[in-house]
């Protein structure tokens, strides 16, 4: 099986991770940091906003089951790509909307999807499009966060509604129940 990698930032990585874990064709989801200038940043450093990193998810996917285009179309429905350096109450460059492409083909597809999505949103899309940079896996306690802490405040009030929206809009794309 041939797999591909996608790296996306759309606010807090817990939200993106929780959604993509439920998408058929996604083989692995990992929360991490990229796009900054500090080697091996910690969560606290990234949250301070001084490292230049974005909170991201790195997806390993099977393109025979889910296309990169589909992954991006979902990305644009589960976060607001029109708010610069912010998602809800999360404010700072670490929460920017960004697509880190891994191949020239991903770059071209991302440009096409951004252009298509421009007609869907009422405000201009501010999503950055950048070449994939050095990626750092987030601390273990950030991995599978929503699955492990569904009743935690942020998860219950921010992550859960995004997951519910995804489930409703993309019912036909959900993983089969285990």
Give the 3-state DSSP-derived string for 82-118, with helices as H, strands as E and coil as C.
CCCCEECCEECHHHCEEEEECCHHHHHHHHHHHHHHC
Average pLDDT over residues 129-153: 95
CA pair distance 46, 36, nearest whole angstrom:
9
Percent of the chain residues topping a pLDDT of 90: 94
Mean pLDDT confidence for 31-55: 96
| pLDDT (tens digit per residue) in 78-116 | 999 999 999 888 899 999 999 999 999 999 999 999 999
Query: Any idea which residue has 């405000």 for tokens?
Result: 123
Active-site residue set: 12
Query: Is residue 177 over pLDDT 70?
Result: no
Cβ atoms 6, 61 nearer than 8 A: yes
Check the CA dihedral 39-154-175-111 and report its sign: negative
Residue 178 pLDDT level (bands cut at 50, 70, 90): low
Check residue 176 and give its pLDDT: 73
Write down the pTM of the prediction. Answer: 0.95
How many angstroms separate the CA atoms of 136 and 41, rounded? 8
């Amino acid at each position: 099986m041939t797999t591909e990698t996608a790296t996306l930032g759309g606010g807090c990585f817990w939200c993106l991770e929780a959604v993509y874990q439920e998408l058929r064709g996604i083989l692995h989801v990992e929360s991490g940091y990229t796009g900054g200038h500090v080697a091996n940043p910690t969560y606290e450093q990234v949250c301070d906003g001084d490292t230049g990193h974005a909170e991201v998810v790195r997806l390993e996917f099977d393109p025979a089951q889910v296309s990169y285009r589909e992954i991006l179309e979902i990305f644009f429905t589960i976060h607001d790509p029109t708010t610069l350096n912010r998602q809800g109450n999360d404010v700072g460059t670490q929460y920017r909307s960004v697509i880190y492409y891994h191949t020239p083909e991903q770059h071209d597809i991302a440009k096409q999807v951004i252009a298509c999505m421009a007609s869907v949103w009422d405000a201009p899309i501010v999503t950055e499009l950048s070449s994939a940079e050095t990626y750092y896996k987030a601390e273990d306690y950030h991995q599978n966060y929503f699955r492990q802490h569904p009743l935690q405040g942020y998860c219950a009030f921010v992550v859960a509604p995004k997951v519910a929206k995804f489930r409703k809009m993309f019912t036909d794309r959900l993983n089969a129940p285990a």
